[in-house]
Chains A and B, each alone.
Chain A
């Protein structure tokens, strides 16, 4: 960062001098490209790659069911974490899930000042682990809890009609390049 500042400083001085002495007749070409390349660097979510299998974010983006979730991920600025090499297990809630929260909650969470709070809720949906359905069932049988990226633990239960996490049922499972997406229809609000 310091380097960038210095470079900008240098360019400023440089162009000042040029203007002063030559009446600004010629602009150094390098200066323009330089300032442009110093624009804010993007994270892994910006890597262009249409060959690899889709990662969790790409899959979520490709399905209408997760529009709200994707919007929340973007609002919270956690896109790069969701495309990370992981492995990650994402409990992804469908659009309707937010509607089940008390009125006004979503609008409140999407306010810029609540970015950290929103991120905290979203990280409660991601386990830094490789949990296919079969493994979740095992975890349930062994009475283990799932450690989530929020730092909280989620219960996992194996019932007759399927697997439940945090009390909500897994509706569907999709394998993604960096782990698994389990579809749920409730927001897993972490205990404060």
Chain B
């Protein structure tokens, strides 16, 4: 590494020598002659300027990076179990992964979005969707933990999610796969006209971020791909791309590519909200889980909901319109002003940009081209603001820099293209390695983008890094977008497959980050707040161990009187009140993960001993200078043994003060 650094330095210096006295403009010669290394170098002990939250794709998680360094800080478990943090393994977090299909400890996480106030990032929460078993999760940015997951009924392939309106009034969840509504046993080839696509609006409590489904808009059986909210003048509207307006149910790669144009659905959610608030909509039976984690009890609860409010678009005239958009549009991106809605037709030769003001005018003037299932189709020319001609091949997603420029990814031609809003001219194009999917500019889909960096998330990695067998790392690339031309600064590996990301200036989040959980605020039913309160209680074959941990011992650390066939609950409280002093817990033969307990927190591990003997347990996190001494023994006797239940520390009962 040192050698690489030295040679890099040597080359840099050399090129400076060659370049600086010459023509004067050495910037065009690429990264080596510029200061790309300096731009991404965050010196030891210094902080990154931005947080970036990249979805973990098929890992089901969300990863936190620093920009510009590309350093990974944390993988936040969301939809999948994580043995490292006992998420989904300890008794406290198991309910987070409950669904109407039972305990589903994995998913495909896609589109993180940061909460907003007045159209600007407010740094309170990140929302992210589980695609496979439709769910929306909320991550609290004071703890960087998943604190709420709500399942989405009547949905399948929860893809056009989880984007927020400009005051986080709603987070939306649109179905990619239309399904029978209500679900029933029916022939697949009777799809057309019978399957429905639900667009779900989840209200977010402005105080605590609590989520609840306000209504589901039951749309025609198309595929709802991506979405973004209106902002500024278009606040109150939400835009969803659709494909498969052909309503094909097989070989979609051909059969869903027949229509010259599909639609962007424009939803006036304010109008529907008003309708709902006035008693509109039909309550329909359903089943979905709502899981909430509390920082006070350090535990999650899961509630099964049995009703949802269904809205039929034709019942709310003037609330839903279709804007024809060429060739199976994927990305649906709204510029910072809220005027332009960019539809990226995956197979189209140009990028289509709709105008919100023209859309409103076309609605007023009833410039319709028929309807689809009663929903008016606006005339294509009437809403069209312009098109970026021949921009590249396979457009997918667009973000904005707040300076009048847009950046679009092109999958097939593997490039990011910068173009100008209003004139639609291409300003710059840079290759990416390879086949880029999403891109992200911090705040790039809000009223106030921070147009300094752009992260391209690539779908294909191949030879970009040292190989690791057939499965190679996922790859992101960082660009500096402060100049007229984009400049590639850095490659960095990512977890899972990042489908979209959200970025935010660190100073909007870091100061609010929690350091410890206050022990006195711990309301866990099995919390043990002092060593004197530690105890072991038998209830039939259930044994509850109320245990504490502090540098560098457990209390109690010798337990006897356990029997084969017992179900031992270790309820362990970390008594530390000091930043970054977690303790871990592991006991031999445990059939669930180890625990990692933060200061002031209580977690529970279930142990069902199968064999007679004296078995050790220990701290798994190198907590202190005497970490290796942090251990204990638990004696397991045969079933029916008369060994009394005792629990001690240093030969004395722990409560002997």
Contact = CB atoms under 8 A, between A and B. Distances in A.
A62 interface: no
Interface in B603-626: 623-626
Interface stretch (A10-18, A109-117, A155-163): A10-18
A26 to B, nearest CB: 11
Nearest to B515: A51
Given A10-B12, A53-B578, A38 B43 contact: yes
A131 to B, nearest CB: 12
B624 A37 contact: no
B552 A17 contact: no
B73 interface: no
Residue of B13, B514, B623 ringed by the most chain A CB atoms within 10 A: B13
A52 B16 contact: no
Contact of B6 (A6, A20, A21, A84): A6
A102 interface: no
A41 interface: yes
A17 B46 contact: no
A52 B574 CA distance: 14
Interface string A166-185: 00000000000111000000
A96 interface: no
Given A13-B16, A21-B20, A49-B515, A87 B624 contact: yes
Nearest to A17: B20
Contacts of B625: 84-87, 128
A135 to B, nearest CB: 8
A179 B551 contact: yes
Contacts of B43: 34, 37-38
Given A6-B9, A41-B44, A49-B515, A18 B553 contact: no
Contact of B551 (A13, A28, A178): A178
Contact of A128 (B576, B578, B599, B626): B626
A151 to B, nearest CB: 15
B623 A13 contact: no
Interface residues on B, range: 35 or more
Contact of B35 (A13, A20, A30, A138): A30
Contacts of B2: 2-3
Contacts of B515: 49, 51-52
Contacts of A130: 550-553, 626
Interface in A102-136: 128-130, 135
A84 B581 CA distance: 11
Interface residues of A, number: 36
A178 B20 contact: no
Contacts of A49: 515, 579
Interface string B1-14: 01001100100110
Interface string B500-527: 0000000000000011100000000000
A37 B45 CA distance: 9
Contacts of A52: 515-516, 577-579, 599
B578 A21 contact: no
B22 to A, nearest CB: 9
Contact of A18 (B6, B20, B576): B20
Contact of A55 (B12, B16, B41, B578): B578
A63 interface: no
Contact of A138 (B6, B578, B581, B650): B650
A49 B21 CA distance: 49
Given A128-B625, A130-B550, 14 more contacts: A14-B13, A17-B16, A17-B17, A18-B20, A37-B43, A49-B515, A51-B579, A52-B577, A85-B624, A87-B551, A135-B650, A138-B650, A177-B578, A178-B578
12 contacts: A3-B2, A13-B13, A17-B16, A34-B43, A37-B43, A49-B579, A52-B577, A53-B577, A85-B551, A87-B625, A129-B626, A179-B551
Q: Identify the 6 closest CB pairs spanning chains A and B, nearest first.
A: A37-B43, A87-B551, A177-B578, A53-B577, A51-B515, A52-B579
Interface of A: 2-3, 6-7, 10, 13-14, 17-18, 20-22, 28, 30, 34, 37-38, 41, 47, 49, 51-53, 55, 84-87, 128-130, 135, 138, 177-179
Interface of B: 2, 5-6, 9, 12-13, 16-17, 20-21, 35, 38-39, 41, 43-46, 514-516, 550-553, 576-579, 581, 599, 623-626, 650
